[in-house]
Amino acid sequence: METGSHIQNTLDPTKWVELYADYLYKFAYYRVNNDELAQDLVQDCFLAALKASETYKGQASEKTWLVSILKNKIIDHYKKASTRNESPLQLPSYDAPSYDHFFDKNTNGHWRSSSKPKDWEATENNFDTKEFYKVLEGCLQELPEKWKAVLTMSLLDDADSKLVCKEFDLSSSNFWVIIHRAKLQLRACLEKNWLKL
């Protein structure tokens, strides 16, 4: 483990479950919103780490190294899930709301009156509650797999857009369209299921 600026370059797999399982589970669950899947991903992470233990050079702490393996497992999961639904080179076409649902073509793309964003600051909602996070998880579950993966990687993991595009074989314009549409759908879902005006 870390001692000062020195990082130990040995691993102790016998303590991984005790030291890191809870943290890794929470990390995975926050990104996939599924208990069983999060547990499976953590197990896959530990197995992959055991197989790769000879390549560990100690340049990062054991925990950081395990998190990076888990991130790759999560990305792999989303890649597989999204390719079951679409060709990786195509922009997804789903039943999710399109631009037409939010914007009026007859007014040069202005918001439809029924879809205008509400003033969240004027509400009496508390967003730091278990109830809100439950609604947010439900709204994330409604997103198509690739949208959820791209949004999670770029916003939760703060990954550079170029890296996300590379991981999911997207053009820059496809990336931004997915992010924009995912945000629109999340906002609409939260306003419908949570926001109390």
pLDDT at 108 over 50: yes
The pLDDT value given to residue 48: 94
Q: Which helix (H) or strand (E) holds 6?
A: strand 6-7
Residues 127, 72: one domain?
no
105 domain residue, yes or no: yes
Q: What is the CATH number of the domain that holds 40?
A: 1.10.1740.10
pLDDT band of 93, cuts 50, 70, 90: very low
Instruction: State pLDDT tens for residues 112-170.
Output: 666 656 666 655 666 667 888 888 888 888 888 888 888 888 887 788 889 889 888 88
Residues 104, 77: one domain?
no
Tokens standing for 83? Answer: 């390719």
Instruction: State pLDDT tens for residues 11-55.
Output: 889 999 999 999 999 999 888 888 899 999 999 999 999 999 888
The pLDDT value given to residue 36: 93
Q: Which helix (H) or strand (E) holds 23?
A: helix 16-32
Residues 57, 139: one domain?
no
0.85 exceeded by pTM: no
The pLDDT value given to residue 49: 94
Higher pLDDT, 5 or 75: 75
pLDDT band of 195, cuts 50, 70, 90: confident
Residues 40, 75: one domain?
yes
112 domain residue, yes or no: yes
CA–CA distances in Å: residue 158 to residues 119, 137, 147, 173, 178: 26, 19, 15, 18, 16
The pLDDT value given to residue 119: 62
Higher pLDDT, 61 or 117: 61
d(CA 9, CA 116): 54
33 domain residue, yes or no: yes
Alpha helices by DSSP H, 103-160: 130-141, 145-151
Measure the CA angle with vertex 121, ends 117 and 123; round to 5°: 90
| Average predicted confidence (pLDDT) for the chain | 78
User: Within 13 Å and on the Cβ side, how many CA atoms surround 48?
Assistant: 17
60 domain residue, yes or no: yes
Long-range Cβ contacts of 22-30 (<8 Å, 24+ apart) = 23/63, 24/66, 24/67, 24/70, 27/67, 27/70, 28/70, 28/73, 28/74, 30/156
Alpha helices by DSSP H, 33-127: 35-52, 62-83, 99-102
The pLDDT value given to residue 5: 41
Residues 105, 189: one domain?
yes
d(CA 183, CA 136): 12
CB-based contacts of 167, cutoff 8 Å, min separation 6:
75, 79, 153
Q: How far is CA 74 from the centre of its chain?
A: 9
The pLDDT value given to residue 8: 53
89 domain residue, yes or no: no
137 domain residue, yes or no: yes
Which structural domain range is residue 130 located in?
99-193
Higher pLDDT, 186 or 88: 186
Tokens standing for 114? Answer: 């029924």
